Amino acid sequence: MTAPLKIGFLLYPNLTQLDLTGPAQVFAHMSGSQRHFVWKTMEAVPSDSGISLLPTDTFESCPDLDLLCIPGGPGQNALMQDAAVLGWLSRQGAQASWITSVCSGSLLLGAAGLLKGYRAASHWNYRQYLPAFGATIDEGRVVRDRNRITGGGITAGIDFALEVVATLRGQAEAEEIQLLLEYAPQPPFDCGRPELAEPQLVERVRQRLATSVHSMQGHAAKE
C-alpha cells in the first residue's frame, strides 16, 4: 500500500473560493489522495462569495505536502509580505513534489520565491506582475514547467486539476472524473479571454478588478 498523495490548499480571508473549490472537487475523486485546507488558525475563513470555509489544518499541524496548491483572490494582497505565510509556502515548497497555483495565486508562489526561472500562468489581469518575481509569463490556461503546474484565472482551476490528475494518475482516471463532473462546458458567450472580448468589455472588467490591481502593483514594485 502506498501512502496517499497529500494535497494542501492555502486558505485565507477573502480568497476567490472557486480557485480552490473547483480543484478541490476534482481532487475529491482522485484515487489515493487526501486534502488539507490550511490557514494560520482553525477558524472559518470568509471568501469573496459570502460563504466561509473551514480550515482542516494550521501551518503548524499540516503534514509535509506532496502537492501544494495556492488559490488567488483579493485577500492575497495582505499576504504578499506576510512572513508566516511566505515562510510556510517556502518550507512546503522546498520539499513538495508538485508546486501549483490557480489564478493570481501564482503571484503568491512568486512572492515566496517559488517561481524564479519558471514559466507560469495567472489570471489575465494579473499575469503582467509575474516577471517581478523572476517568472516568465505564459498565457496558457494550464502551464506546466517541470514540477510547477499553474492555472489561469478562476475557472481555469477545473482544467488545471484535471490535467494534474492526468499527469499523476493517467488519462483514464482523469476522463472518469471529467465525465463524473459532467464537464462538457457550454459558456453562454464567447468572451472568456481578453483576446476574445471587445476592448470596452475588457475595460469594464479591469475597472471591476481595479482595487486588487492597484494593490498588487504596489507589492510587485517593492520586490
- Nearest distance from residue 177's CB to its own copies, in Å? 9
d(CA 177, CA 60): 32
Of 64 and 223, which CB lies nearer to its own copies in the complex structure? Answer: 64
All cell numbers assigned to 203: 475595460
Is the C-alpha dihedral spanning 153, 219, 107, 89 positive or negative?
Answer: negative
- Cβ(109)–Cβ(89) below 8 Å: yes
62 is catalytic: no
Stretch that binds its own copies, among 59-67, 86-94, 168-176, 215-223 (CB under 8 A): 168-176
Compute how many residues bind its own copies; rule: CB under 8 A: 67
Distance in angstroms (rounded) separating the CA atoms of residues 101 and 133: 15
Whether residue 30 contacts residue 173, with contact meaning beta carbons closer than 8 Å, is answered with yes
Neighbours of 94 (CB within 10 A): 11
Is 132 one of the binding residues for its own copies (CB under 8 A)?
A: no
Q: Which residues bind its own copies (CB under 8 A)?
A: 16-18, 20-22, 24-25, 27-29, 34-35, 37, 44, 48-54, 56, 103, 123-124, 141-142, 152-156, 158-159, 162-163, 166, 171-172, 174-176, 178-189, 191-194, 196-197, 201-202, 204-205, 208-209
Catalytic site positions: 103
